[in-house]
């Protein structure tokens, strides 16, 4: 015959259950980052914005070149020397790139390891020291061609120079003559898109957009993609990435 529980016995049982629950780590529930990105068509939003920004930057550069009777030496990445340089950008800019890696089955442990290694180097070495490594971007193929060209961020799409394109990959050349038009309006548009993404995903405001070196930003999206606690994850790791990328070296 089962013993009838008294109120005191029930209270003790409930206290034990509460103690066990408190000791167990909380499991986040709710939609994952990838689910929200798909639901709100954020990849398309960012892609359209980035393509428009690259086009605007290109037009500004071409106008400047015509005005000053100069020639832009590199327009189609025929000599990808710039793909061996550290790049810092906003987190939202590489969302289409990360989505592409997922869709094409390229998000592998090996790729993530290479991205982490490249990010560590970019965050700790001075620009010229990193350039001296002659370490190509992780998204180049065996022929040094970009495999994510249609989804490249603005920084990659507006790296124009007046000096010979081959100089970008020549370590003996220390001065590269870059083209620097007024991109105030372009940057304002970038901030607008960043705020749209942050608001849609509920990302914590940190006094500015999450930013960092390119491989770290791609890795952050990939690591957070399947997590329902992505807001907390991105806040923690995004803050660290921003600090590391903006620390003088």
Q: What pLDDT band is residue 225 in, cutting at 50, 70 and 90?
A: very high
pLDDT in tens, 204-213: 877 778 999 9
Residue 16 counted as domain residue: no
Contacts of 98 (CB under 8 A, 6+ apart): 107, 218, 221, 222, 225
Q: Which run of H or of E encompasses 95?
A: helix 95-103
Highest mean pLDDT among 64-73, 189-198, 199-208 belongs to: 189-198
Task: Count up the domains in the chain and report the number.
Answer: 1
> Is residue 169, in this structure, part of any structural domain at all?
no
Question: What would the pLDDT profile of 144-191 be if each residue is shown by its tens digit?
Answer: 889 999 999 988 888 888 888 778 778 888 788 877 666 677 678 888
The reported pLDDT for the residue numbered 78 is: 63
Q: Which two tokens stand for residue 221?
A: 């999206």
In a domain, 69, yes or no: no
Residue 45 domain-assigned (yes or no): yes
pLDDT at 75: 66
Is 64 within the bounds of a domain? no
The answer for residues whose C-beta is within 8 angstroms of residue 143's C-beta and 6 or more apart is none
Q: Is residue 146 part of a domain?
A: yes
User: Tell me, what's the pLDDT at 183?
Assistant: 65
Mean pLDDT for the chain overall: 85
Would you say residue 166 lies in a domain?
Answer: no
Is the predicted pLDDT of residue 122 greater than 90, yes or no?
A: yes
Tally of helices (H runs) and strands (E runs) in the chain: 10, 2
E-strand stretches of the chain: 88-90, 211-213
pLDDT of 16-29, one tens digit each?
655 655 554 445 57
Q: Exposed, middle or buried by CB within 10 Å (0-12, 13-18, 19+), for 22? A: exposed
Mean pLDDT for 223-227 is 97
Q: What is the pLDDT of residue 2?
A: 46
pLDDT tier at 3, thresholds 50, 70, 90: low
Q: What is the pLDDT of residue 163?
A: 83
- % residues pLDDT > 70 (the chain): 84
- Among residues 88, 90, 112, the alpha carbon closest in space to that of 102 is found at 112
Verdict on whether the full-model pTM lies above 0.85: no
Domain that holds residue 125: 32-54+87-155+182-246
In a domain, 236, yes or no: yes
């Amino acid at each position: 015959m089962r013993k009838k529980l008294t109120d005191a016995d029930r209270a003790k049982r409930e206290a034990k259950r509460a103690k066990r629950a408190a000791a167990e780590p909380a499991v986040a529930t709710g939609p994952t980052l990838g689910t929200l990105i798909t639901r709100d068509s954020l990849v398309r939003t960012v892609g359209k914005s980035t393509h428009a920004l690259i086009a605007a930057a290109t037009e500004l550069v071409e106008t400047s070149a015509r005005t000053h009777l100069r020639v832009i030496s590199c327009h189609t990445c025929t000599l990808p020397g710039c793909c061996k340089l550290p790049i810092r950008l906003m987190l939202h800019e590489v969302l289409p790139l990360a989505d592409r890696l997922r869709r094409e089955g390229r998000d592998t442990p090996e790729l993530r390891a290479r991205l982490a290694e490249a990010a560590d180097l970019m965050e700790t070495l001075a620009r010229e020291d990193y350039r001296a490594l002659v370490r190509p971007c992780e998204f180049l193929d065996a022929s040094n061609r970009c495999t994510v060209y249609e989804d490249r961020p603005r920084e990659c799409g507006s790296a124009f120079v007046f000096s010979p394109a081959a100089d970008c990959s020549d370590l003996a050349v220390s001065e590269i003559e870059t083209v620097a038009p007024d991109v105030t309006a372009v940057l304002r548009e970038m901030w607008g898109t960043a705020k749209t993404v942050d608001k849609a995903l509920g990302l914590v405001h940190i006094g500015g957009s999450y930013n960092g070196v390119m491989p770290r930003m791609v890795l952050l999206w990939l690591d957070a993609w399947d997590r329902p606690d992505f807001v907390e994850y991105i806040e923690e790791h995004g803050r660290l990435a921003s600090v590391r990328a903006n620390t003088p070296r």
